[in-house]
Every structure is written in C-alpha cells, then in structure tokens.
Amino acid sequence: MNMTVALGARSYEIAVNEPGGFISTVRAAVGAASYVIVTNTTLQKLYDVELRQWSTELQAPVCAIADGEQHKHLGVWSDVLDFLLRANLDRNAVVIAFGGGVVGDIAGFAAASFLRGVRYVQVPTTLLAMVDSSVGGKTGVNHETGKNRIGAFHQPSLVWVRTTYLDSLPEREYAAGYGEVFKYGFIGGADMAEFIRKNHFDIALRHPEALEEAVCRSIAIKADIVSRDEREGGVRALLNFGHTFGHALERYYQYRGLLHGEAVFVGMACAIEVSRRARLYAPADASWFDEMQTKLMRPSLPATPDIAKLYAAMFSDKKVRAGKLRLVLPVKPGVCEIRDDIAEETIMEAWESVCA
C-alpha cells in the first residue's frame, strides 16, 4: 500500500509491503543521488546480506552506530556527521536510515544538519518506528537534561516499510511498539477503535494480515495528522495520548527498566482512568472503554512508584504550557480531546488506581 504525507513541496510517499525492491523504489523517489546507509551494529549483523547488496548497488558506505537509547546523544550524532564528511558526500546525498527509532532519529538529525540539510529515507525495522517515529519528520537526540531535547523537524523523502523485518524483532520490543498501534485506537476515529478492539489478539500475536492492516491503518492516521499539523501547533498533540503520563514514568525511573511503549501502555491506562473519573465519556461507551482497559498490556514496574513524585514529573513534559498540564483524554471510542482543566486530585487518583 502507498500513502502520502501531503506537505506541498515536502510531500513524500510511505510504501508498505509494496512489490518491487528497495533499490528501484528509492531511485524512483529521489532520482540521481549519492547514498550512505546509517544503521546500528545489531542490524548490520542481522541484515548483513541485504545491507551489503544495497551498499554495493547504491555504492553507499555503511555507518553502523552502537545499539541502544543510551547512544542517542550529540557525541554519536557528531560521529555520523564525521562519517558523512569523510565520505565526501555533497548536497545531493541521501542518508538511508535502516533501523528503529534511535537510528531514524539520529540519522534524520544528521541529515538535517549535514551541509545545512540533505535528504534522507527511513527504512524502519521496529514496529514503533514503522507506525510512529519514521513518519512525521521529528529528528533529534537526547540530552542529560531530558529526552529528545535537541533536534530538528526534517521530513524524509521516502518511508519504505517491510513488515517482514518484524520477524526478527524481540518480543518485548514488539509488544512495546504495539503500544503505539493501540494508541491509534483511541485517536483514529470510530472505525480504528473497532478494528483494534476486534483484532487485538491477532495483532499482538503477529498474525501477518492483521499486522499489515494495523501498520497501514496506523500510518494512515499519523500521515493525515502530520499533513494537517506538521509542527504540532494543534491536532498533532493528539498523538501524545498516554504520553504525558508515560514520559513522567520514564523520567521517574530514569529511563531504566521500562521501554517507551511500555510506559505509554501504563500512561494510556491512566488517561482512560482520568476520563472515567471525570465522566468525560458517556455511560453508553463504558463497555468499550472497560474492554480496552483489560486489553492494555500492564508491564511490571521496576519499583512501586511514589505517586506525588510521578505527578510532579508530569510537569517537566515539553508539552506543559504556562504551568498547566495538557492531557489528551478519551471522550468516545476513537476520539480524544485535549484538556487542561482536570483536578490534581483526579490525576493522582488515576495514578494510584493504575500503579497500586
């Protein structure tokens, strides 16, 4: 399936499981260019044959960074830039990011800064990267003061998705990525809400057809939102459903012992609980919300959290405006609203009931 992020001159295609190989697709998308492949050492080993073939056919040197979120910092970004500079690439260069969200974010940010910006292509290899990080143009690195604090909006020229890459993805990473798919069930309209409710187990168990449809539907929702609000001035904030709570958890545990998607699962449970307590959804919809609550993955937390500290951690979020929490809260199956008027007590109670 082919989808488009419609951003005028910066529009691009997202090709999901399209026939035809990567080489011909990338050449058709970007025209004559010189290439470089950025990946990590784990993927370089796992996909050795494929990457060697791409490297030979595109005459693309391969830059493999160390694997892990702890390497998503300015030092590694600078190493990638060194690599690009030493490879003697010019402004017609295209950076191919082959990997999960970490590789995509660093390679995209390097492409945004190299020679004041060259094109890049995303080849996402995790479920999270397929449905979330590869689409939308947010690139960047972490800083010791917080995650993703340094970066740039820089849209890719192509996103090339092959769901078969997920065959090698470890179960925990897959489940964490599913958190982002599940999220679209709350923000992507009534049809997506019903699709996720009905196909939850098939997607969770990687049934190929359900998985492909879930990936396509999720990307279509994200592409539509990004097309309408590239820089997060409005509707793009809906993508943060579950994230204000999730980010607070990640910060509280100092980014150890809990994957991002796992934290988002807990965050979605909290957001649903806030909506229930604040009576934001109609009694007629309660059965849908109750069913979705039971389907949410509940990862075990590294330690029992201190709820007051978790609440305080919510205020370090980039999305806090004028000291007010802006929460994305579900009001109907598939529909969320942004609210900044929820009482502290209600939020604390939601944390208690989910994390107790």
Ligand X SMILES: NC(=O)c1ccc[n+]([C@@H]2O[C@H](COP(=O)([O-])OP(=O)(O)OC[C@H]3O[C@@H](n4cnc5c(N)ncnc54)[C@H](O)[C@@H]3O)[C@@H](O)[C@H]2O)c1
Residues in 69-128 at the binding interface with ligand X, rule: CB under 6 A: 69, 72, 99-103, 105, 125-126, 128
CB 69 within 8 A of CB 102: yes
Q: Is 149 a catalytic residue?
A: no
Compute φ and ψ for 302, nearest 5 degrees. -60, -30
Nearer to ligand X, 199 or 240 (CB): 240
| Annotation marks residue 138 as catalytic | yes
Nearest distance, CB of residue 36 and ligand X, angstroms? 19
Instruction: Kindly tell me which residue out of 133, 155, 240, 244 binds ligand X, with binding defined by CB under 6 A.
Output: 133
Q: What are 80-89's contacts with CB under 8 Å, separation 24+?
A: 80/38, 80/106, 80/107, 80/110, 81/110, 81/113, 81/114, 83/36, 84/36, 84/110, 84/114, 85/114, 87/36, 87/61, 89/34, 89/36, 89/114, 89/118
Distance (Å, whole) CA 269 – CA 80:
38
> Which residues from 39-68 bind ligand X, rule CB under 6 A?
40, 42-43, 46, 67
| Dihedral (CA of 97, 102, 105, 110) sign | negative
For residue 262, indicate whether it is catalytic: no
Is 349 an annotated catalytic residue?
no
Residue of 236, 277, 319, 326 marked catalytic:
236
- Residues between 298 and 327 with contacts to ligand X, criterion CB under 6 A: none
CA 159 to chain centre: 13
Residue 88: CB minimum distance to ligand X, A: 28
The values of phi and psi at residue 141, to 5°, are -135, 165
Residue 27 among the catalytic residues: no
Structure tokens at 247: 């980010």
Exactly one of 34, 53, 92, 148 binds ligand X (CB under 6 A); that residue is 148
Site for ligand X in 149-168 (CB under 6 A): 165, 168
240 annotated active-site = yes
Is 147 marked active-site?
A: no
Q: Which is nearer to ligand X, 239 or 347 (CB)?
A: 239
Q: Does residue 224 bind ligand X (CB under 6 A)?
A: no
154 is catalytic: no
Active site residue 40: no
How far is residue 186's CA from residue 192's CA, in Å, rounded to a whole number?
Answer: 8
Interface residues with ligand X (CB under 6 A)?
Answer: 40, 42-43, 46, 67, 69, 72, 99-103, 105, 125-126, 128-129, 132-133, 136, 138, 147-148, 165, 168-169, 173, 260
Catalytic center residues = 116, 138, 180, 222, 232, 236, 240, 243, 247, 260
